[in-house]
Structure 1
Amino acid sequence: MDNDDAIRHAADWIRDADGLLITAGAGMGVDSGLPDFRGTEGFWRAYPALRHHGFSFEDIANPAGFASNPRLSWGFYGHRLALYRATVPHAGFDILLKWASTMKHGAFVFTSNVDGQFQKAGFDVERIAECHGTIHRLQCVEACTEETWPADAFLPIVNETTCLLENAMPRCPHCNGLARPNILMFGDWQWVEKYADRQERRLATWLESVERLAVVEMGAGRALPTVRRFSERHGPRVIRINPREYAIPEVVGLGISGGASEALQLLDNVLGGSV
């Protein structure tokens, strides 16, 4: 099936659906200007100060850094927190919201992204599941409690040259130890799952209510296949949008080659600007 046929077929699925499951990986944010950490060189382009240390994304996105070099770890996450707060979600988010508004059961989001862009775009916070956690909540480094709390009061000041945090690091309100983002990192045994588990229970309940589900997956690659596998479990109407890795078994769905914003606009054009 060529791209034009896939778009027309996908539009029929969206038109017929009574619920929209939106699944998204890191590629969803690229059209909003967020960095793509694809490969070590891509990561170092976004964080040149970490090239000096020889750190890969896996090295710095690791809870061990909060013990060995907490100011560097918080410099990295503090920079990302400030970046995500300043980022404006691209037009594709509004298109998805528009489609969902016409469906009986609306939409639910399942994402591996920690950036909070769906909330910022206006999606219902009770209809978002963040399987890797979120940078906008904090937890204790030692997981002294299962509670997490909003990061709103933390305003990071990061040295762009050294990638070191220059102001006070956030503390746990329960034990006064160091706090960290409530994000599932590499080799992470201290991640507090309570908040994410609650989100996923709400998602499971919502899925049970939907009779004609359409799944729109965007920017989810093979390197970390959590989102792709989740999408495929909810076929047979999975619309996989990806510039390169858009292949999908025919029994589960169809693939559309392209970036998220562009492909969503093409789909919306076929839908005539309305579902």
Structure 2
Amino acid sequence: MNDTYFVRIERAKKAIQEAQYILLGGGAGLSAAAGIEYSGKRFTDNFAPFIKKYKFTDLYTSGFYPFKTQEEKWAYWAKHISLNRYETSATKLYRDIFQVVKDKNYFVISTNVESQFEKAGFPSDKVFEIQGDYAYLQCAKGCHDKLYYNETMVKEMIQKTVDCKIPSKLVPKCPVCGGEMEVNLRIDEYFVQDERWYELNKAYKDFLDKSAGKKVVYIELGVGFNTPGIIRYPFERLNYENENATLIRLNRDYPQGAKENENKTISFAENMQEVVSAIMN
């Protein structure tokens, strides 16, 4: 770490201390930095039977595998959901981020779906998981807008999985149309946005309205270019339009942003946990 790093840390601390509002944006890189990795040892330790049978290489690409049967599909997805949503408790990185902002006027928008923000102490009415939540199922064709909490179902599927298949009687069916069910993730045009989704969308927009023109800090955490239109580009635009704003970007792979915002952006490509810990102290 050089002097430039410490100068950036002090700038970030000062901006956060003086902020009237803080908007956090969490992307996939944040969860990876927290240890929720979708490849490597964590993957091979937990998915050995599926790796052997389907030649899977990581959790991300295996999520798109065209399983031949629903019994196979849900055997895999039950384990995927369980590992990332139920077996993984709040990580240190997310807990530390909460400590940084807990006494400020803040809001969170995240494309992550493991509910780490809420587990770490963030109130649920301040966290907008815009892309869904592993904990819920929906009708695969979105025939109605209700979501179904899946923890008990997922645990039973795992207990009764044999040779990477669940019993046919455990395959979830839509209680309205009788069709297939899907995890509540934004993977196609049938993604269900329930009443709570719209409430949090409104809360996010209200936060943007209230903070417009004020002393705002946008903290962008591990946001890449898979869905840049949700967090990365809007944060750049908001920073550009508000002369009182500062953008703090923590991103190992993509620390650079818009040239127009260069003087109003504090970027870190260093280890995210170390940066957050330094800002805390």
Q: TM-score, normalised by structure 2?
A: 0.79
Counterpart Cα distance in 1 of 2:42 and 2:161:
15
Runs of 4+ more than 3 Å apart: 41-48, 50-62, 156-167, 194-198
Q: How high is the sequence identity, in percent, across the aligned residues?
A: 20
Q: Aligned residue for 1:246?
A: 255
Counterpart Cα distance in 2 of 1:124 and 1:44:
30
Q: Aligned residue for 2:225?
A: 222
Q: Secondary structure at the match of 1:243?
A: coil
Q: Secondary structure at the match of 1:239?
A: strand
Q: Deviations over 1:141-186 (max 9, x none)?
A: 122212223223323334899544457133323234332211112x
Q: Aligned residue for 1:94?
A: 95
Q: Secondary structure at the match of 2:152?
A: coil
Counterpart Cα distance in 2 of 1:196 and 1:258:
34
| RMSD over equivalenced CA pairs, Å | 3.0
Deviation at 1:227, TM superposition (A): 3.0
Deviation at 1:264, TM superposition (A): 0.6
Equivalence map 1:157-168=2 (5 Å)? 157-158=157-158, 163-165=164-166, 168=170
Structure 2 CA distance for partners of 1:228 and 1:51, relative to 1, 3 Å: farther
Contact 2:91/2:116 (<8 A) preserved: no
Q: Secondary structure at the match of 2:25?
A: strand
Q: Secondary structure at the match of 1:230?
A: helix
Amino acid at match of 1:214: V
Counterpart Cα distance in 2 of 1:247 and 1:209:
28
- Out of 229, 237, 246, the residue aligned to residue 237 of structure 1 is 246
Structure 2 CA distance for partners of 1:261 and 1:192, relative to 1, 3 Å: same
Counterpart Cα distance in 2 of 1:58 and 1:267:
31
Structure 2 CA distance for partners of 1:74 and 1:259, relative to 1, 3 Å: farther
Structure 2 CA distance for partners of 1:164 and 1:10, relative to 1, 3 Å: farther
Counterpart Cα distance in 2 of 1:254 and 1:61:
34
Deviation at 1:51, TM superposition (A): 7.0
Unpaired segments ≥5 residues, structure 1: 270-275
Contact 1:244/1:258 (<8 A) preserved: no
Is 1:262 aligned to 2:263, yes or no? no
Q: Deviations over 1:68-116 (max 9, x none)?
A: 432333233211221121112222323332333322x2x2111111111
Contact 1:137/1:181 (<8 A) preserved: yes
Counterpart Cα distance in 2 of 1:52 and 1:33:
26
Q: Aligned residue for 2:242?
A: none
Equivalence map 1:1-275=2 (5 Å)? 2-36=4-38, 45=44, 47=47, 49-50=50-51, 52-53=53-54, 60-62=62-64, 65=66, 68-83=68-83, 84-103=85-104, 105=105, 107-156=106-155, 157-158=157-158, 163-165=164-166, 168-185=170-187, 188-194=188-194, 195-210=196-211, 211-225=214-228, 226-235=230-239, 236-249=245-258, 250=262, 253-269=265-281
Q: Secondary structure at the match of 2:176?
A: coil
Deviation at 1:266, TM superposition (A): 1.1
Contact 2:134/2:183 (<8 A) preserved: yes
In terms of fraction of residues, the more helix-rich structure is: 2
Amino acid at match of 1:263: V
Structure 2 CA distance for partners of 1:59 and 1:33, relative to 1, 3 Å: closer
Contact 2:96/2:277 (<8 A) preserved: yes
Which is higher, the Rg of structure 1 or of structure 2?
2
Unpaired segments ≥5 residues, structure 2: 240-244
Q: Which moved more, 1:147-156 or 1:118-127?
A: 147-156
Amino acid at match of 2:17: R
Counterpart Cα distance in 1 of 2:177 and 2:275:
48
Amino acid at match of 1:101: K
Counterpart Cα distance in 2 of 1:228 and 1:150:
30
